């Protein structure tokens, strides 16, 4: 399995998508205590700072080096505004799934649609991916709006395909393929 490319991106308006750093650990711990975030994402219980530090430095880099996926910070100026990751990577088919979250102080600013659009375009144009997929719980309206604004196409619903802290949920499937970017 190849290493995942070391992706770092910036948008013209200053949004940066880059590797997590040790300095992100406290913000990560804070984000994972947010009930709105935890409602939709099966994130671990609030981690001790040392585990978050390990995730931001060693674990995320090992995932990338092993080709299992990539986790990237989304920054507004130098502040961690959220995270985006590619997972369930199939190198033979050149497909992956993205997941993402936005820290509470940065919600409602249009940050995530820009990040999802920028990251997925890079995966397709610069790294040869043939399909990038999103799987979103139907009640997670903010993520559904981000998918639509980022230019993904809704394909259907996978029944009972996901889980949250509250139990099983359906997942709405969205995708982006190279042909979607030829407009």
What does the CA dihedral 171, 39, 84, 180 come to, rounded to 10 degrees? 30
Radius of gyration of the chain from Cα atoms?
A: 16
pLDDT for residue 7: 95
pLDDT tens readout for residues 103-127: 999 999 999 999 999 999 999 999 9
Please report, for residues 22, 97, 119, 163, the alpha-carbon distance to residue 134 in angstroms, rounded to integers and kept in the order given. Answer: 28, 6, 13, 15
Percentage of the chain exceeding pLDDT 90 = 84
Domain ranges, ordered by start, for the chain: 9-181
pTM: 0.94
**What are the tens digits of pLDDT across the range 39-76?**
888 776 666 888 899 999 999 999 999 999 999 999 99
- How would you class 168 by CB atoms within 10 Å of its CB: exposed for 0-12, middle for 13-18, buried for 19 or more? exposed
- CATH code given to domain 9-181: 3.40.630.30
Supply the pLDDT for residue 183: 60
């Amino acid at each position: 399995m190849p290493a995942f490319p070391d992706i770092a991106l910036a948008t013209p308006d200053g949004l940066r998508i880059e590797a997590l750093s040790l300095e992100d650990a406290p913000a990560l711990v804070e984000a994972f205590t947010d009930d709105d975030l935890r409602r939709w994402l099966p994130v671990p219980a609030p981690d001790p700072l040392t585990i978050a530090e390990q995730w931001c430095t060693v674990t995320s880099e090992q995932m990338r080096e092993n080709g299992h996926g990539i986790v990237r910070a989304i920054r507004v100026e130098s502040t961690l505004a959220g995270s985006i990751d590619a997972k369930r990577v199939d190198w033979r088919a050149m497909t992956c799934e993205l997941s993402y979250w936005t820290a509470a102080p940065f919600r409602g600013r249009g940050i995530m649609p820009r990040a999802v659009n920028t990251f997925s375009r890079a995966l397709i144009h610069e790294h040869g991916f043939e399909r990038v997929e999103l799987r979103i719980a139907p009640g997670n309206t903010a993520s559904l709006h981000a998918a639509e604004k980022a230019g993904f196409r809704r394909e259907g619903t996978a029944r009972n395909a996901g889980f949250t802290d509250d139990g099983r949920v359906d997942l709405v499937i969205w995708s982006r393929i190279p042909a979607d970017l030829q407009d």
